Amino acid sequence: MGYGNWDRAAFVKYNKARGRKVDADGRVAGSHTNQEIFRARRIDPMLDPKNVIRECCDSVDHPETVPVILALDVTGSMGQAAVEVAKQLNVIMTDLYDKLPDVEFMIMGIGDLECDDSPIQISQFEADIRIADQLERIYFEFGGGGNAYESYTAAWYMAARHTRLDCWKRGKKGILITMGDEPLNPYLPLRGLRTGLAALTGDTLQTDVDTAPLYKEVTEKYEVYHLQVDHRAWRDPRIERSFRKYLDAAHYREVTTETIADEITRIIRKEAGKDTEQKKGFVEHVQELIAW
């Protein structure tokens, strides 16, 4: 997986086949409900998390891959934020490919492990129009429970234990961006009301997975971000407090449905730009030595 390149014409054709138009600025035109974009009514077998390892491999097309995971909250209140990502996917990809042609995306759907039937969905890493296809295969269960949080760290868990990235061989990390509007969960349950982490993933686990050690594990392999989507008339201070135990101000960001796509682009450019700055600094240092 991960071969090919992003192409605006393919995005236009893809949406035309689904009765949608693309504006001159590259965005899907008009207003669309979550049910119009995300039509799945059960988890797609392609997104089943059980016993899978998702790889992001360097190739002739992409010799220095930049792996990015976008993890969407698929519970009741987050539908429109995901619609905006789908509508502006071409803008995100076009902006990135101008300077970062080796970006590859994985899409995750994250719900509530305590209460939902399908709280983890995980795609392949892709670089072309298959990103749009896998995004729209996400099943919005519209679940969640009364526990005042969603299982965002399920994305951390899958990234840490169910991916394999060639960029690690080059001393680089992947980029993981979760998006939601609830507090961070304190643990991942071994067993929930309908399923649990062990049953979903096929992993042999003895206990619940606590957030603190999992954060340490995932940040050895990924730069972890969370986008708090502000789309309600009220603000819950517990949300920021829960995330700021682990994420600093640079990695925890508040967005709206209108700014979420731009923020995704900024994060990826920032992280990929670190490598560019390091290379630039190395070259300048070598030039100074030669001149000396």
* DSSP one-letter string for the chain: ---S---HHHHHHHHHTTT--B-TTSSBPS---HHHH---SS--GGG--TT--EEE---SS-TT-EEEEEEEE-STT-HHHHHHHHHTHHHHHHHHHTT-TTEEEEEEEE--TTT-S--EEE---BSSTHHHHHHHT--------SSS-B-THHHHHHHHHSEEEGGGGGT--EEEEEEESSPBPSEE-SS-SS--HHHHH----SS-EEHHHHHHHHHTTEEEEEEEE--SSS--HHHHHHHHTT--TTTEEEE-TTTHHHHHHHHHHHHHHHHHHHHHHHHHHHHHHHH-
pLDDT at 280: 46
Query: What is the model's pTM?
Result: 0.91
> 105, 251, 256, 70: which is closest to 181 by C-alpha?
256
Q: Which CATH topology does 8-291 take?
A: Rossmann fold (3.40.50)
If one counts every other C-beta atom within 10 angstroms of the C-beta of residue 155, the result is 29
CA-to-CA separations, 24 to 8, 83, 91, 94, 262, in angstroms, rounded: 11, 19, 11, 13, 17
Per run of 10 residues, the mean pLDDT along the chain (length 292 residues) is 86 96 95 90 96 97 96 84 92 91 96 93 96 95 83 98 98 97 94 91 96 98 96 78 97 93 95 64 46 54
Q: In angstroms, rounded to a whole number, what is the distance separating the alpha carbons of residues 30 and 33? A: 10
Query: Taking the domains of the chain in order of start, what are their residue ranges?
Result: 8-291
